[in-house]
Amino acid sequence: MSDHGKYRIKQLSIFSENRPGRLMDIARDMKEAQVNILWFTIAEGSGYGVVRMLVDKPEKAYEKLTSNGHVVKFTEVVAVKMEDKPGGLYDLTVMLTDAGINIEYAYGYRNSPSAVLILKVEDIDRAIDSILGSGRSLHDVSHFK
Amino acid sequence: MDEMLVRAELKPEAFTDNINRLNALRERVENRLKNPLNVGATVELVEPGTLPRFEGKAKRVIDKRVY
């Protein structure tokens, strides 16, 4: 499929030492750059964390954070449109398991009246093909603008 | 047994979103230090630019052992 690119969502991953004020620094950068944080989490390492964020202007956020010395990377994820009802996640994971797609990590949030499941997988293009091929829908990058 | 804390700045190109790989990198540095030094080393990854730079006389080791 030639339109894989529009389904590859740019998540920001930021290395952060585990000490007071680091999240504040990142939040200040986003405020100053007028970037809206749509979702974020902190994955805990050993004495450090990785802040993962979805934002409305990823390039602007990247530029601001790196210019202030943060170690930042784009991580490509896919955003699956989910029905907000029991069993939706199970049905999706059955399909992914059958397709042999391993999930590195995932997170979800309600986007009333539906829900969104963000997936980080090793082979993102194969995951896009499998999810679309199963009749499901993905949010494209415009959803996060 | 003596234990040493080593703070190491993470190069941006070595950063990965994968926590397991970051932990593996830290452990690899610990092992690389332990073998030649024969001292247990705990490595702490820190952000680039956070460690003090060379200021005339180098003071890179702080010995906190009590005899």
Q: Taking each helix axis from N to C terminus, what angle separates A124-133 and A88-98, rounded to the nearest 10 degrees?
A: 120
Mutate to test the interface with A, among B5, B9, B17, B42 (most CBs of A within 10 A): B17
Q: Which residue has the tokens 């199970």?
A: A90
Q: What pLDDT does residue B64 have?
A: 79
What is the per-residue pLDDT for B35? Answer: 81
Q: Note the pLDDT of residue A2.
A: 56
Nearest by CB to residue A50, choosing from B19, B26, B50, is B19
If residue A64 lies in a helix (H) or strand (E), which one and from where to where? helix A58-67
Nearest CB among A15, A46, A52 relative to B15 is that of: A15
Give the one of A45, A70, A104 whose C-beta lies nearest to B22's C-beta.
A45
What pLDDT tens digit does each residue of chain A (145 aa) get? 558 999 999 999 999 998 899 999 999 999 999 999 999 999 998 889 999 999 999 999 999 999 999 999 999 999 999 988 899 999 999 999 999 999 999 999 887 888 999 999 999 999 999 999 999 999 999 999 8
The ipTM of this complex is 0.82
Q: Across the strands, what pairs with A105?
A: A120
Residues constituting chain A:
145
CA-to-CA distance for B61 and B67, rounded, in angstroms?
17
pLDDT at B1: 67
B47–A71 CB contact, under 8 Å: yes
> What tokens appear for B6 in the block?
């080593």
